[in-house]
Amino acid sequence: MTVSWWCADVATSSLPFPSLLYFLSMHPEQSQHHEIEPHLLAAFISTFILRQDAYARQQVDGTYVAVRKPLTSALLEQHFNGRVTLGTYALDAMSMARWICLDADTDTQAIRLLEMTERITEAGIPFYRERSRRGFHLWFFFQQPLTGILARRFIQQLLVEHGVDAKQCGDKPLEIYPRQVQLVGDGLGSLVRLPLGVHRKTGKIYPFVDQNDKPLANTPRELLPIVSKPDYVPLPSLLAVISRSSQPVVEQPTPAFRTNPLANLKDRQPSERILAAISTLDFVREYVALDAYHRGHCPFHDDEHKSFNVVESGNYWNCFAGCGGGNLIHFWSKWRAEHGQDGSFVDTVRDLLHILNI
Ligand SMILES: [Zn+2]
């Protein structure tokens, strides 16, 4: 009997799962073997999981909720046996990355990235392709943790050199995880579905595949050792690509803001002048499309719902999915960090004074 487990739909509605084919190989002598060997679990953790003080849990609609509790091996076991599905954060608490994941979820993005993979294979840069709900994830692994800034510079330069415009790839931007170069405040940043888990919306486990779209292993169990100890981007290649990149430039569609004359009171603190100059709503709406209720798609996470809103009476914005909130200075700090620039308070305020021309 051959079972392609990733094709076999798992009834997500009928939890708990029957002791599933997922984690069992087709060999009868192993079929009682539910537990994962500790060394494999450790390798998987060190490859994919950057923080153990928090995790994300996928819900049936495919979205995630952040859980600020330790990620235990028992939970991971549940992820592997399909009882829960975890998301993994792309930056650790120090804003370091250990992998990059590109999310190709349109045909155009998939085609462009597949073209790129052919060429980077020749250049000796290893990557892993994991099928996903709408396309695939393209993973690059680093042997040593890398700052979010350098990790994103590496991938952005690689994309540029292979003709992929991440900002306008098909009809939407290509998502790069980590989406931020650094975490702001106590935010957790962006996340990706942790491999080998059941997608709660489709009920499928997605395999890692080769260039012919053939799974790298016959079962998730057999795939685990392969993805847990992946080939890393060689350090010389990594550094060479980064060294060819120019400093990231934040694109600033600088609208002509109408500011309140009070903002020109030079004896006030710069941050006070900024907040006096313009409301959070009037500033933010230049960057985020807001409806009549001042709601919109959050610019800080992959938002299928309108999780983002601005509360006019309170002069603040908020993302219900956990990206945070605050006034327009917080917004711009986060925006800058998302676009590859320094999100520190000092730099953000200086930039705002310039943008608002006050
Ligand atoms: Zn958000």
What is the amino acid identity at position 240? A
Q: How far is the CA of 306 from the centre of ligand 1 (A)?
A: 9
How far, in Å, is the centroid of ligand 1 from the Cα of 188? 11
Per CATH, the architecture of 28-244 is what? Alpha-Beta Complex (3.90)
**Domain chopping of the chain, boundaries:** 28-244, 261-356
Distance 319 CA to ligand 1 centre (A): 5
Q: What is the pLDDT of residue 33?
A: 44
Q: Compute the Cα dihedral for 204, 207, 209, 212 and give only its sign.
A: negative
Which numeric CATH code is attached to 261-356?
A: 3.90.580.10
pLDDT band at 248 (very low <50, low <70, confident <90, very high): low
Triad 92, 93, 97: Cα angle to 5°:
25
Q: Three-class SS of residue 5?
A: coil
Residue 326 has pLDDT above 60, yes or no: yes
What is the per-residue pLDDT for 357?
86
CA of 324 to the centre of ligand 1 (A): 7
* Distance from the alpha carbon of residue 144 to the mean position of ligand 1, in angstroms: 29
pLDDT in tens, 131-140: 999 899 999 9
Looking at residue 253, its pLDDT comes to 52
171 CA from centroid of ligand 1 (Å): 21
* Residue linked to tokens 């415009």: 165
pLDDT number for residue 34: 56
pLDDT at 266: 72
CB 331 within 8 A of CB 341: no
Span from the CA of 356 to the centroid of ligand 1 (angstroms): 25
Question: What's the mean pLDDT in 106-132?
Answer: 93
Residue 278 CA, ligand 1 centroid: distance in Å: 23
Q: How many A from CA of 26 to the centre of ligand 1?
A: 41
90 CA distance to ligand 1 centroid (A)? 15
What percent of the chain shows pLDDT beyond 90?
A: 58
Distance of CA 218 from the midpoint of ligand 1 (Å): 37
Compute the average pLDDT of residues 20-33.
37
**3-class SS of residue 230:** coil
CA of 338 to the centre of ligand 1 (A): 12
Q: Is 5 a residue whose pLDDT tops 50?
A: no
Better-scored residue on pLDDT, 30 or 334: 334
Give the chain's mean pLDDT: 85
Q: Cα(299) to centroid of ligand 1, in Å? A: 6
Residue 234 has a CB neighbour count (10 Å cut-off) of 13
Q: How far apart are CA 329 and CA 351, in angstroms?
A: 10
pLDDT at 263: 66
Q: Report the pLDDT value the prediction gives residue 28, as an integer from 0 to 100.
A: 35
- pLDDT for res 27: 36
Q: How confident is the model at residue 286 (pLDDT cuts 50, 70, 90)?
A: confident
Q: Check whether 51 has a pLDDT greater than 70.
A: yes
Evaluate if residue 11 carries a pLDDT over 50.
Answer: no
Confidence of residue 24 (pLDDT cuts 50, 70, 90): very low
pLDDT tens digits for 75-87? 999 999 999 999 9
Residue 143 Cα to ligand 1 midpoint, Å, equals 30
